[in-house]
Amino acid sequence: MSWERAAGRCHAIQPCRGEPRTRAARRAASVAIAIVAAGFGFTRGVEAAQPMHFTHLGADAGLAQGGVMAIVEDSQGFLWLGTEDGLVRYDGYALRHLIRQRGVPGSLPNNWIAALASGSDGRLWIGTDGGGVAWRDPMTGRFVPLRPAAGQAAVSPEEKVRALHLDHAGHLWIATRTAGLVEVDAVTAQVRRFQHDEADGATLSDDGVLAVAEGHGGALWVATHLGVDRLDPASGRAERLGLRIAAALGASGPVQANAVLEDQHGDLWVGTDAGLAKIEAAGERVRVYRSQRDVPGTLPSDHVQALLEDDSGRLWVGTGAGLALFDRRAERFDTYRHEAADPASLPDDYVISLYEDRAGLMWIGTKTKGVAKWNPRSWSFGHQLGGDPAGTAVTAFAEDGKETLWLGTFGAGLSAIDRRTGAARSHYRHRPNDPRSLPDDRVMAALVDHHGTLWVGTMTAGLARLDAGSHAFHTYRPDAAVAQSLPASGVMCLLEDTRGNLWAGTYGGGLARFDRASDGFRRYALADAGEEGLRSERATALAEDPSGLLWVGTDGGGLDLLDPDTGKVVRFVHQRDDTSTLSANTVYAVHVDPRGGVWVGTRGGGLDHIIGSARRPDDIRFRNYSETDGLANDTVYGIESDSAGRLWLSTIGGLSRFEPDSGAIRNFRQSHGLQGDEFNFGAHFRSVTGQLFFGGPNGYNGFFPERLLYDEIPPPVVLTAFLKFNQPAQATLVPEQLKSISLGYKDAVVTLEFAALDFAAPAANRYRYMLQGFDSGWVEAGAKRSVTYTNLAAGNYIFRVRAANSDGVWNEGGLSLPVTVAPAPWATWWARVAYALLAALIIYWLWSTQQRKLQREAEYARRLQVEVRDRTVELAERNRELEHLNHQLKEASLTDPLTGLGNRRYLQQMLTQFASAEELREAQHGAPPLSMVLMVIDLDYLKPINDMHGHQAGDRILTQVADILRDCCRAGDYAARWGGDEFVVAYLGADLSNAEVLAERVRSRVAKQIFRLGDGRVVRTSCSIGFARYPFVLEAPALLSWEQCLSLADAALFHAKKQRNAWLGWAGTAAAAAVEGLLQAVETDLERLEREGRLEVRRTQFQPEDTVDKLRVGARRRSDWPTGV
């Protein structure tokens, strides 16, 4: 068992500080803090202490018990708090409360944690009140009772421990309430006990030990109930100093020592119940510090509980009445107490523990209200409360050449601060009965002109000028009877231009320029519509650009540009739909930077940069920067430039540093040392030395930007939680000690939480993370410090986290944690090998099975081939027979069985195909359709013949008529028996002239034919013929269908039969297309249509035989017609 020197030392009555992350860096930073604090806040006067802003960790933050008796930072960077109700770990965000759990191994031995110490090996030592000593295993988080070498006892398990200390050799020193001081050797684990012996004056003065501190020479300072002893660890001999201290304190007997400290000068400080004593290293003179009521600079209470010397050499004293800071040069104390009206004050006046962590932050443990934190770097912002304790709301600044800083306040008048001492040299307040006093305690503006004269603008009492010799004010007020008087009582801003002219911006009277010759003012008031002049009477900000033009900010009226020589005014206002205009119409600040750039601070619109020349106002545009770009707030109260050209902006939400070239923004808030997050309108100033001043409700900040101190140490990054399905994962190690993470295939939801252990401003810490192998790059998480991954594929990953502290310093190494996701059992390598073998076996079985199947199929195919060949021959023969039969059936379905001509179905099919083909040709080629003539032939006397000779005789006549038609028609024409004694001929490509020739030929042949009826019987008959053209009207092919044209042919037949042995045919002319109901009209009103030229009619004409002979082209049998007919 071995223990190394503690990384930090602190307990309830012997507070101390942690080792710096790098001691050289911490020491240099501490010296800088001391120098900068002095330079920024001047040399502090005797009136008030330099303000401190504390951050609290109490019940509101989750602290279960408010008495913080011990504080320590462990080797990883976690902060531990010992309370009366358990141990608390703080990671900057959450408090983890650990308590004793009866019957649970590894829990705390007792809940009353009186002392803490941290070793560099990672172990945290815990001293309890009634539970002895234990240490926390940094790997498992379990608490292990202290077990020295066999046969020895360090302390009783019921012993009340008061302090713990790890010395330079790694020995643990245990201060007990009743059993003296115990040492546990780091190497041999041997135990030595040091106790009081009445017979030996070289032993401890008392067995009740309250504190232990190590001196520079290796000796131990031991605080007991009877004073302080100096113990030599080597010899074990003790020197008792209690009586000397008691005598110096004026006590009649021994006094209890609660805290002891040897500072860097070798002086010994002892905190007692009767005050603070210092034994100087040289001469061993004892000096005492006591509380004296109503005496500033004395100890706030004689009850001293804790002592701490920080890395800057400042001595802090925790008492029962507040925290005291000892000023070594002035030999006085600055006291910090709880203020009910100030949430940033100490939470409790009873201070019982003090600690400084590695980052230099100071932690103050209190009796009832938890712990408070203070950042020493905050002093680099030079916060001061103001010159007059009666009012801290600073609203204006000015300086003169006599090292005087003038502070204007809202309600407490005007103060003159000595720049060398920081003390208030004088105060000026309004006295109602004194017209030479400050006219109003509400100062809104201040300016020292080139003559050294101080001008003060007030809220409601005009403009005042201070006479330096008499310290009297001359006040300028509005006077309706005097045209050159001040235009309004409220003076919001002052400016002296490069010509030495004094300008006053008033609230209600516009702008005024002071005329020194007449001691009056020239007014630039609100202009009427259409006139040149200011557009608002409420002037809020003034600035002169390099061209000598004045920029005037107003309340609600936008921004005005005034040419002092001509009086011409150009107005710029916000336009909602134009982002290149002014971002808001209320302007709180106008600033001209060293390069001549003009910047505008607005209410609610952020910061505007004017692009373009003031001499060409029509070309001016505004470039806006807002909270979206990173500003602390969009209401900008003040703008100042530093020596590096950066802009500093005071807002409602803090202070912003703006880089004009890059647009980079860095924000500062109260935790950095500002007087508050909210500043006051117009309260900003840059001194001739480059020091910047910004005022607010809680005083002001005065600082040199180049001397500000930042935390340059990258924060450690740790894993704080590892969860599966939102429940802590079962692991043998605590999350921060995990070197890798192994996940199973069922771990579908995994959450990792992490923290940067930098406590200055945890909410401002920033994170980025990446799961290598899953994320394509770094994920910017902002302030979020957890990530959840779902359904990660099996494989190896590395989870990495980088973090930056509140000052933007990144830990680029950060946290790197290998993550392995195991595959499911069915997805492991051996499972894949098994799958491959099984697949190979299955493939082989399938292959062999297929081979046998192929062999069987080949034999079957061979036999089948023979059968198929035989069957094919047989089927081919049958197919030929079937085809012949099908042909015969088709022919039969389209042929009249008596005459051998086509039947009605045949003719309908042919005519439909013809009509469709013509329509398609016309649609595709635009050609006019081919015409044909539909001719209906009816035998005149067939019924009498049938009646006389029988139907067989009639059939013989029909057969012979069919032969006549075959003989008379062309090969391409369609001839069919329509039914009974009617025949229809479709005369293709013919007109009426051709049709009448065919009709006459058929009529003539039938009339001359001697029809043989058998048995030597003969008979003669005639026929009537009607025909019509299709299309009926060539100019309107779609007017009538072929079916309708066939009906017209039948109608013509009706007229022809009246005469018998005659024919009649017709077709429509172009004029027929306009006849409504043409089909019915032709049948009922033939003569009118013919008379009107709408119908072309052809009637029977007997022609010479030679004409008939010329038409003879022969007939054909149905079997000779083209395929498909």
Least trusted range by pLDDT, from 333-347, 527-541, 849-863: 527-541
Residue 255, Ramachandran bin (φ over 0: left; ψ between -120 and 50: alpha; else beta) = beta
- Residue 14: pLDDT over 70: no
Confidence band, pLDDT 50/70/90 cuts, at residue 892? low
Q: How many CB atoms lie within 10 A of CB 455?
A: 21
- Helix (H, G, I), strand (E, B), or coil: what is residue 133? strand
pLDDT in tens, 637-648: 999 999 999 999
372: nearest Cα among 327, 338, 324, 325: 338
Q: In what order do the strands lie in the sheet with 143-145?
A: 6-11, 113-119, 124-128, 133-136, 143-145
Which CATH code, of 1.10.1270.20, 1.10.3080.10, 2.130.10.10, 3.30.70.1250, is assigned to 442-703? Answer: 2.130.10.10
509: nearest Cα among 536, 475, 532, 483: 536
Contact of 507 with 492, CB cutoff 8 Å: yes
Mean per-residue pLDDT, 325-342: 95
Alpha-carbon Rg for the chain, nearest whole angstrom, is 58
C-alpha 342/C-alpha 179 separation (Å) is: 44
For residue 49, which amino acid is it?
A
- Residue 18: pLDDT over 70: no
SS (H, E, C) 272-322: ECCEEEEECCCCCCEEEECCCCCCCCCCCCCCEEEEEECCCCCEEEEECCE
Query: CA 551 → CA 176, 396, 591, 592, distances in Å?
Result: 73, 20, 9, 10
Half-sphere exposure of 1041 (CA within 13 A, CB side): 7
- Cα three-residue angle 133-134-140, rounded to 5 degrees: 175
C-alpha 720/C-alpha 728 separation (Å) is: 11
C-alpha 506/C-alpha 372 separation (Å) is: 45
- DSSP states of 416-445: EEETTT--EEEEE---TT-TTS-S-SBEEE
- DSSP states of 501-518: -EEEEEBSS-EEEEETTT
- Residue 1125: pLDDT over 70: no
Threshold 0.85, pTM exceeds: no
* pLDDT given at position 156: 79
What percent of the chain has pLDDT above 70? 91
Domain range summary for the chain, segments of one domain joined by +? 6-381, 442-703, 717-827, 829-894, 902-1120
Half-sphere exposure of 1061 (CA within 13 A, CB side): 11
- Residue 1012: pLDDT over 80: yes
Cα 673 versus chain centre, distance: 30
For residue 83, which amino acid is it?
T
* pLDDT given at position 732: 87
Q: 541: which strand partners?
A: 553
- Residue 1027: pLDDT over 90: yes
The tokens for 677 are: 């997050």
pLDDT in tens, 591-635: 999 999 999 999 999 999 999 999 999 999 999 999 999 999 999
Q: Angle, to 10 degrees, between the axis of helix 1042-1057 and the axis of helix 904-925? A: 130
CATH assignment of 6-381? 2.130.10.10
Contact of 146 with 137, CB cutoff 8 Å: no
122: nearest Cα among 89, 73, 88, 87: 73
- Helix (H, G, I), strand (E, B), or coil: what is residue 1056? helix
Cα 743 versus chain centre, distance: 30
- Sorted by sequence, the CB contacts under 8 Å of residue 727 that are 6+ apart come out as none
The tokens for 20 are: 């710096």
C-alpha 907/C-alpha 975 separation (Å) is: 8
* pLDDT given at position 1084: 85
Rounded to a whole number of angstroms, the distance between the first and last alpha carbons of the chain is 118
Task: Please state the CATH superfamily assignment of the domain spanning residues 902-1120 in this structure.
Answer: Reverse transcriptase/Diguanylate cyclase domain (3.30.70.270)
- Sign of the four-CA dihedral 984, 985, 989, 990: negative
Cα 116 versus chain centre, distance: 42
C-alpha 91/C-alpha 805 separation (Å) is: 13
pLDDT in tens, 678-704: 999 999 999 999 999 999 999 999 999
* pLDDT given at position 603: 98
C-alpha 416/C-alpha 423 separation (Å) is: 9
C-alpha 1021/C-alpha 231 separation (Å) is: 165
Confidence band, pLDDT 50/70/90 cuts, at residue 532? low
* pLDDT given at position 50: 86
The residue whose two tokens read 């060398």 is 420
> Are domains 442-703 and 902-1120 of this chain identical in fold?
no
- Helix (H, G, I), strand (E, B), or coil: what is residue 998? helix
C-alpha 268/C-alpha 255 separation (Å) is: 16
Half-sphere exposure of 125 (CA within 13 A, CB side): 35
3-state helix, strand, coil in the chain (%, to 5): 20, 35, 45
> What's the mean per-residue pLDDT of the chain?
90
C-alpha 1096/C-alpha 1107 separation (Å) is: 22
- Residue 214: pLDDT over 50: yes
**DSSP β-ladder status, 741-743 and 113-119:** unpaired
Least trusted range by pLDDT, from 573-582, 872-881, 932-941: 872-881
* pLDDT given at position 891: 65
**DSSP β-ladder status, 795-804 and 766-772:** antiparallel
* pLDDT given at position 528: 56
- DSSP states of 853-904: HHHHHHHHHHHHHHHHHHHHHHHHHHHHHHHHHHHHHHHHHHB-TTTSSB-H
- With 0-12 CB in 10 A as exposed, 13-18 as middle and 19+ as buried, what is 749? middle
- Residue 93: pLDDT over 80: yes
**What is the CATH T-level fold of the domain 717-827, as seen in this structure?**
Immunoglobulin-like (2.60.40)
pLDDT in tens, 184-203: 986 777 899 999 999 999 99
- Cα three-residue angle 1041-1045-1050, rounded to 5 degrees: 145
- Residue 84: pLDDT over 80: yes
Least trusted range by pLDDT, from 55-69, 489-503, 799-813, 1078-1092: 1078-1092
C-alpha 631/C-alpha 657 separation (Å) is: 9
C-alpha 1060/C-alpha 786 separation (Å) is: 112
C-alpha 707/C-alpha 691 separation (Å) is: 10
C-alpha 476/C-alpha 497 separation (Å) is: 20
- Residue 23: pLDDT over 70: no
Give the DSSP H or E segment for 1047: helix 1042-1057
Is the bond leading into 660 cis (omega within 30 degrees of zero)?
no
C-alpha 717/C-alpha 767 separation (Å) is: 10
107: nearest Cα among 90, 86, 127: 86
Q: 181: which strand partners?
A: 175, 194
Give the length of the chain: 1125
The tokens for 499 are: 């010509």
- Sorted by sequence, the CB contacts under 8 Å of residue 860 that are 6+ apart come out as none
Cα 437 versus chain centre, distance: 56
**DSSP β-ladder status, 795-804 and 322-327:** unpaired
C-alpha 1071/C-alpha 1092 separation (Å) is: 9
